[in-house]
Chains A and B, each alone.
Chain A
């Protein structure tokens, strides 16, 4: 397994741009096609925004992001020490509902799960560790 990027920054919206740029560069270097890179960026944004909004309701905190590659797989790990939150246990929103019935919540996590091949969550040493995995082909 090779580590491509490892960043630890305050969990704030102002850091979204550099985190996404870093994921994008790593995926590009691994030979992913542009369309797939966009999907990887999407999954990373949805995960990060969720952490920015909900992980630290009472105090500021950090988010750690590690991009790795193993075989033909691209792996992104997100680590925060915020409140326990298992996104894999979240129910999917109703994507067949009409405009007025549409609830704004849950869509980001749903998209993230849809575009990734595997999403794994674990709570370890008071930290949330979310692992996203996508195959190159």
Chain B
């Protein structure tokens, strides 16, 4: 999996490419933790190029989101499609995370 992060105003836009599975999830979670320890609080996960996610990936997003609660931070999502969207739906994650049609629309929320 490839993780590409850029700072856009008050948010870190994290674009994920490939597969967020049990092997890749620890690295992903560590990269988000690193940003948080640098004082970053708002994340937009762009999943446009993500082909696959498993419960390990969902758990890393959930764990990060719980960490951000203390600092009133948030995780927003965009680019959900195909099997990735299906996994979010089945697991009930669509009702606990805000999903936007585009990165631009999400960044207006931050």
Contacts and interface: CB of A to CB of B under 8 A. Distances in A.
A104 B63 contact: yes
Interface stretch (A60-68, A72-80, A110-118, A119-127): A110-118
B28 to A, nearest CB: 15
Interface in B1-49: 21-23
Interface stretch (A2-10, A81-89, A93-101, A128-136): A93-101
Contact of B62 (A42, A102, A111, A115): A102
B59 A104 contact: yes
A114 B83 contact: no
A13 B22 contact: yes
Interface size, A (range): 20 to 34
A16 B83 contact: no
B82 A38 contact: yes
Interface of A: 13, 16-17, 20, 35, 38-39, 41-42, 45-46, 49, 95-100, 102, 104, 107-108, 110-111, 114-115
Interface of B: 21-23, 51-52, 54-56, 58-59, 62-63, 65-66, 69, 82-83, 86-87, 90-92, 95-96
